[in-house]
Chains A and B, each alone.
Chain A
Amino acid sequence: MTNALDLTELIKMLGKVEEIELENIDVIAGELGLILPTISAIKRESVKKAEYRDLNFEIPLANFTGEVLEVELGATKANGGTRENVIKVGGERTMPFYNFEALNPNEPVIAFDVFDTKIHLAGPVRKHFEDVLEDPAEWAKRCVDKYGADMVTIHLISTDPVIKDTSAREAAKTVENVLQAVKVPIMIGGSGNPEKDPEVLEKAAEAAAGERCVINSASMSLDYKRIAKACVDYGHVVLSWTSLDINDQKTLNKYLMDAGIKKEDMIMDPTTAALGYGLEYSFSIMERIKLAGLKGDKDLQMPIASGTTNAWGAREAWMENPEWGDREKRGPLWEAITALTLCLAGSDLFMMMNPTAMQLFRDIIKCLCGFKETESLDIKNWIGMR
């Protein structure tokens, strides 16, 4: 310290600190008296009194400038289709269930999976559909009428040359049958074969013209322009599917828009990894996409879909193992927690399979939306629970 130090300053400083160390200091004063009681008096004053005061808590609010787009699925008679209802998906103004910040307009939507041929299903799923596995129309009906699914997805997997090599024309008939069987909006999926899917989805889109289905999916690994054209020509919504990469998602969305898709005719699927098998990647990619959209990135403002059914790929979901407890409960919980976690990350549309899982998930999202009236519980009683 090179400046001369005012003694009153020094005493003030002593009141603020518990200990001071003076280095290389010359004290220039006729007489230096530090009266200790004075210092401790200052100190005592600075210690807060133990007391309870009613304080305010300020909820910190984010200032989002963007909004997620609201996409309509299904078309009623008035709009050239035959669906009985239209489902709105997306439209968020804040992260899911941050009700203190803004109320998001639409509840998450659940679509049940239906396949066009008998496939291997995990036990806890199969038992609900055992008798309809060879009849996609009946299968779809069961999903809607008995289990209350908002939508169904008809997966045309039998078109894969290594499965049955069903023709595109025949697959389109299956789509027509499903449209007859249920009156909710539907999604149409290919087999995942990049060579054959464009043709299959084109024919399916044509057969469902005007119904505003979701066409699942356009991706970088196939001729996405054909898929995009089919969606534009026959009035459908495209599912833009990428593999856990936000930049790829942005790029594909742009390509699809360049190919003529309007931004409100698109849903994104950044890939769902199951609980225990990379769920955190999907969780963070979806959070990043949703935040980017809310912050105004126009290429990432479409609603997000999750192939939650992938949860059943986890052996902990389907495998019988006494060390893991009852599979009939564990499996549905595995699917429900996969859905719930991705819902909190920002997914809007959930492709699911198990009725118990759907029930668990739907019940909790109704609560989180904040509208479900219920009696208030005196939660302090939990300590006394016997």
Chain B
Amino acid sequence: MAKKIGPLDIYNYLPKTNCGECGEKTCMAFASQLIERAVKLEDCPALKQPNFVRSYNNLKEMLAPSVKEVIVGVGDKSVKIGGEEIVFRHELTYFNKTAIALDVHDEMNDEELLARVRYVNDFCFKRIGEELTLDLVAIRSTSKDPDRFAQCVSKVLCESKKPLILCSWSPSVLEAGLKVVGHERPMIYAATKDTWEEVGRLAVKYNCPVVAFADGDMAELKSVVKALESLGIEDIVLDPGSHVEGKYLANTFGNFVASRRAAIWNKDIGYPLLGVPAIAWLSGEGAFKEAIIAAIMIDKYADLIILHTPEIWALLPVITLRQNIYTDPRKPVAVEAGLRKFGNPDENSPVLMTTNFALTYYTVASDIESAGVECYLLVIDTEGLGVEASVAGGKLDAFKANEAIKNSGIEKEVKHRKIIIPGFSSRISGDLEIQSGWVVFVGPRDSSGIKEFIEKKWVGLA
């Protein structure tokens, strides 16, 4: 296993002056932050001086991620994949979320083709303060005809706001596509044992990232990668073959795990991984299977996946899973407890209650915001547990809720004494009324019902 780089290894190359210009108190603190990727080498002014060139270069190499970071596309139309450093997310964090491509092919009629491209452009779901999107368009050459492929690429290029992947086993077809879009750094799919030289030279000529493919054979995959490297190519992506059935699927899963371990433990073929859940359609199975395969690949270790289905019921769980897995585990689970105001609430506005588990809080907050309800929200310190768990675990009881009411200052903000508590905490309502002297209303179990509850019930109550 490769030795893990520690702050001390980094510190040795830093100026050791503790000048503080980087924003950290000491060079040692800066070294720790570098490992966490919370700061950049360039944040240290001394390292930019000529006498530190060697140190800078050494540090650059030491800090280079085990899985190379590869950029597909240019400028606004680009996506970063790879850059990973660990095999389990709790060890640090995963950095670049799995990019998702939707496919089109060169024998689609124009209407369908452009509709799919626009679908990718416009796809956007807002969840917990983040916009979840699709990231690339993969163009497959089903015609195997270079001219037809070039025409298709050109149509997609005009319409797409996302970077492209050009997919063909034929170097001449790929070249036809590259002539159209080569200047925008599409990803080339794929170089094999037989085509590595021709496809590799295209990657060099157009300076594009290229996928190395070998069907289920890791030794062959490594050989293709090394052959591409021998042409001077640096931006490579690995496709160990995506099988979706039976024991072949087990083998594919093993190859993904082995690739990531090799990159991180042995510094061996340290490149991002590509998976193709779309292959589920080849075996006659549809979006269910494709979504399940996508989930496996997001969990373990794909940096880019190509999907076929535009069905939202299948995509929603997949992009949500991606958001979950790529959430930084170093971020706190809890938000600050206390009284929050939404809009400009007055002395008659409703008072709601929730817990300080970050996900619970953000879900409730976004529901209140999207409902346009002006109100107070009392956030109880449940030590970062959600409503159900904190009621069950005794972290949210009448005593605690009453304390929060008394200490929050809410009694000075409103004239009334009525509070809406989460549906899942109905158990505490009786005791809370006795202890606090407030009238307690059991609200909806899901905060999506807040708008309706306020409109229909609160108005009558108030």
| A residues neighboring B (CB under 8 Å) | 48-60, 62, 97-100, 162, 192, 194, 219-221, 243-244, 271, 273, 275-281, 283-284, 287-288, 291, 313, 315-316, 319, 323-327, 329-330, 333-334, 336-337, 340-341, 344-345, 360, 364, 367-377, 379-386
Contact = CB atoms under 8 A, between A and B. Distances in A.
A224 B141 CA distance: 63
A33 B130 CA distance: 64
Interface stretch (B28-36, B306-314, B432-440, B451-459): B306-314
A377 B316 CA distance: 28
Contacts of A192: 392
A62 B257 CA distance: 12
Contact of B282 (A99, A221, A382): A382
A242 B77 CA distance: 45
Q: How large is the interface on B (under 10, 10 to 19, 20 to 34, 35 or more residues)?
A: 35 or more
A278 B329 CA distance: 11
B127 A48 contact: no
Contacts of B227: 50-53
A99 B141 CA distance: 35
B317 A334 contact: yes
A377 B253 contact: no
Nearest to A291: B88
A186 B168 CA distance: 53
A313 B258 CA distance: 35
Given A60-B265, A315-B446, A385 B317 contact: no
A281 B446 CA distance: 20
Contacts of A384: 140, 142, 144
Nearest to A98: B257
A50 to B, nearest CB: 5
A97 B261 contact: no
A10 to B, nearest CB: 18
Contact of B327 (A280, A319, A336, A386): A280
Interface of B: 1, 88-90, 105, 107, 127, 140-142, 144, 167-169, 193, 196-197, 200, 215, 218-224, 226-227, 230-231, 241-251, 253-254, 257-258, 261-262, 265-266, 268-269, 276, 278-279, 281-283, 287-288, 291-292, 295-296, 299-300, 308, 311-314, 316-318, 320-321, 323-325, 327, 329, 333, 357, 359, 363, 385-386, 388-389, 392-394, 426-427, 446, 448
Contact of A337 (B220, B221, B317): B317
A379 B105 CA distance: 17
**Secondary structure of the B side of the interface?**
helix
- 10 smallest A-B Cβ distances: which pairs? A374-B246, A325-B313, A370-B250, A330-B313, A325-B312, A372-B246, A52-B227, A57-B218, A280-B324, A367-B249
Given A162-B426, A333-B314, A380-B215, A364 B292 contact: yes
A55 B88 contact: no
Given A162-B427, A384-B142, A360 B363 contact: no
A192 B329 CA distance: 29
A379 to B, nearest CB: 5
B222 A57 contact: yes
B210 to A, nearest CB: 14
A179 to B, nearest CB: 27
A367 B246 contact: yes
Contacts of B386: 273, 277-278
17 contacts: A56-B222, A59-B261, A97-B250, A275-B321, A278-B357, A280-B327, A283-B89, A313-B446, A324-B312, A330-B314, A337-B317, A372-B247, A373-B246, A377-B244, A379-B282, A383-B142, A385-B282
Nearest to A370: B250
A331 to B, nearest CB: 9
A60 to B, nearest CB: 4
